[in-house]
Amino acid sequence: MSIFENFNLRQSPLGFKLLSTAFLIGLSLAQGLGMTMAFIQTTVVNTSAEEYFSYLKATKLVSLSHPHFFGYSTLYFLTGLLFLFTKQPKAIKTILPGLVVFAALLDIVSWWGIKYVSSKIEILSMLAGIVFVGGFLYMAIVIFYELWFRKKVD
């Protein structure tokens, strides 16, 4: 039996619950703002992702990629770590957190592909975004539910 099976989110200390909740709310707001910014930049300000990335110099793309690699890796790792403490099936806890991190990193790599390879790589960026946002939302909802509302302790 591992530490992940012994720890119970519902019975965790109030400080842990509040910190975890604040973290999930903050990351959810960042997700929402990021999606809004991406939509505005690729449909309102510019006509497409191809046009948006065509205006970026390599140095600007590096300066966008660096904090995104760091932020995605850190934030989705921490969300995945909290998710490991949930009562979800072991298979989901094994696959989903890594898939979310991988999809987020693939999204950033796709930006370079859109700029330097083909605008058709935009579909990869969209699919990766769906996976990492959807996976994050699933994990966040489960974590939040188990922190505050789960009735039965397994």
What is the total residue count of the chain? 154
Instruction: Tell me what pLDDT residue 76 has.
Output: 94
List the structure tokens of 43. Answer: 């449909």
What is the pTM assigned to this prediction? Answer: 0.89
Instruction: Tell me what pLDDT residue 11 has.
Output: 87
CA dihedral 41, 114, 68, 74 (to 10 degrees): 130
* Residue from 151, 145, 143 nearest 4 by CA: 143
Instruction: Tell me what pLDDT residue 153 has.
Output: 57
Residues 6+ apart with CB under 8 A from 61: 53, 111, 112, 115
Q: Give the Cα separation of 28 and 126 in Å (integer).
A: 18
Instruction: Tell me what pLDDT residue 152 has.
Output: 66
* Residue from 74, 61, 66, 84 nearest 30 by CA: 74
Average pLDDT across each block of 10 residues of the chain; the chain has 154 residues. List them in order: 73 94 96 94 94 94 95 94 94 96 95 96 95 96 94 64
- Delimit the domains of the chain by residue range: 12-148
- Identify the burial level of 150 via C-beta atoms within 10 angstroms of its C-beta, where 0-12 means exposed, 13-18 middle and 19 or more buried: middle
